[in-house]
């Protein structure tokens, strides 16, 4: 199951299905897409007092609209008799804001629990790292640096849920899916180093325009690349040699497959699980200022740093075993 917004475009899912099939690991899937939405809107809904969580009944699906995603995860009706074993979920791309004001951590856990309830404790969720717009296509280095810093906030979001799952003896986990991190790697290699065959042609701005349809959304070529990243992340297998659509040249396909696998395998081979104390420190010392500087909203830095260092449940990266059970939504 995929749940997201315009940055998790339909092309990525269709491409991932074709990539998986070509590698001998076929997949079936459905989706919930609400453009511009935080996870809160796709779970709770527009009304914060809505105990029915009507947000699960909103969005575009693989066929039609407004499928009840919670009910579908519990008792699948669209998979031909199969059950869901994987959820790929993303938050709105301004994660610093959604962590503070949209209750990202708790709604991420709520969605994950719907997957586990309908399947088994071996089911896995992936938190897909969405990215901000590239402010300057002619000099994408600042964007690359920001996304690499922001990755730590996405990783901490998954880690916060996992701390609570572990505390009650559960073996299921939420994994970080390094989409934004891998996209930053591609932009660096293609547009800054000029080393991606079939892609690194022309100026930095021209290369970015080859990968993006605007400053935020991906082109078809960019979508194909992230389908490779998603495949490599979920299956932990190399996408090298996989299917490619007709608009991707053999040279481009080989280059993108190798960059995707290198990026994903480098991340998972070196990843460590941050503690909540480390997450509070990284938000205070790195992510808050990086977001303020990159977004141009310098006033957010102080409020952000203060928010993530509070020793109270209003800070999503605060954990207390004594009060944790009461923190989560039923």
Predicted confidence (pLDDT) per residue in 71-99, tens digit: 999 999 999 999 999 999 999 999 999 99
Domain-located, residue 283: no
User: pLDDT band at residue 324, thresholds of 50, 70 and 90?
Assistant: very high
Q: For residue 161, what is the domain's CATH number?
A: 3.40.50.1110
pLDDT for 299 equals 84
Domain-located, residue 95: yes
Q: Does the pLDDT of residue 9 top 80, yes or no?
A: no
Domain-located, residue 293: no
Domain-located, residue 162: yes
Domain-located, residue 314: no
Q: How many domains is the chain partitioned into structurally? A: 1
DSSP-assigned letters across all residues of 60-101: B-SSSB---HHHHHHS-SSSTT----EEEEE--S-HHHHHHH
Neighbours of 219 (CB within 10 A): 17
> What is the pTM (predicted TM-score) of this model?
0.98
Separation of alpha carbons 288 and 173, rounded Å = 26
Neighbours of 172 (CB within 10 A): 19
Q: Does the pLDDT of residue 122 top 90, yes or no?
A: no
Average pLDDT of the residues of the chain: 97
Q: Does the pLDDT of residue 194 top 90, yes or no?
A: yes
Domain-located, residue 289: no
Containing domain of residue 224, as a range? 2-276
Q: Does the pLDDT of residue 120 top 80, yes or no?
A: no
Angle, in degrees to the nearest 10, between helices 220-235 and 250-270: 40
């Amino acid at each position: 199951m995929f749940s997201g917004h315009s940055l998790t475009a339909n092309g990525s899912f269709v491409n991932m299905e074709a990539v998986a099939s070509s590698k001998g690991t076929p997949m079936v899937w459905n989706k919930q897409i609400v453009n511009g939405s935080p996870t809160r809107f796709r779970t709770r809904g527009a009304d914060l007092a809505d105990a029915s969580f009507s947000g699960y009944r909103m969005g575009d699906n693989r066929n039609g609209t407004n499928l009840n995603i919670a009910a579908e995860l519990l008792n699948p009706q669209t998979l031909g008799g199969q059950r869901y074993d994987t959820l790929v979920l993303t938050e709105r791309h301004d994660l610093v804001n959604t962590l503070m004001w949209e209750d990202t951590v708790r709604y991420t856990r709520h969605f994950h629990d719907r997957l586990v309830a309908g399947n088994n404790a071996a089911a896995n969720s992936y938190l897909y790292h969405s990215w901000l717009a590239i402010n300057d296509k002619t000099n994408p280095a600042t964007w690359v640096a920001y996304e690499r810093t922001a990755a730590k906030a996405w990783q901490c979001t998954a880690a916060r849920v996992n701390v609570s799952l572990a505390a009650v003896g559960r073996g299921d986990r939420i994994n970080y899916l390094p989409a934004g991190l891998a996209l930053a790697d591609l932009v660096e290699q293609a547009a800054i180093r000029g080393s991606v065959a079939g892609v690194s042609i022309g100026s930095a701005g021209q290369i970015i325009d080859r990968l993006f349809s605007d400053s935020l959304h991906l082109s078809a070529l960019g979508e194909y690349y992230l389908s490779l990243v998603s495949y490599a992340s979920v299956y932990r297998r190399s996408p090298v040699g996989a299917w490619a659509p007709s608009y991707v040249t053999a040279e481009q396909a080989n280059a993108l497959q190798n960059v995707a696998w290198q990026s994903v395998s480098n991340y998972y081979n070196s990843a460590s699980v941050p503690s909540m104390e480390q997450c509070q420190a990284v938000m205070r010392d790195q992510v808050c200022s990086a977001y303020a500087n990159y977004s141009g909203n310098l006033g957010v830095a102080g409020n952000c740093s203060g928010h993530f260092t509070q020793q109270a449940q209003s800070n999503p990266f605060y954990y207390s075993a004594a009060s944790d059970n009461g923190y989560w939504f039923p």
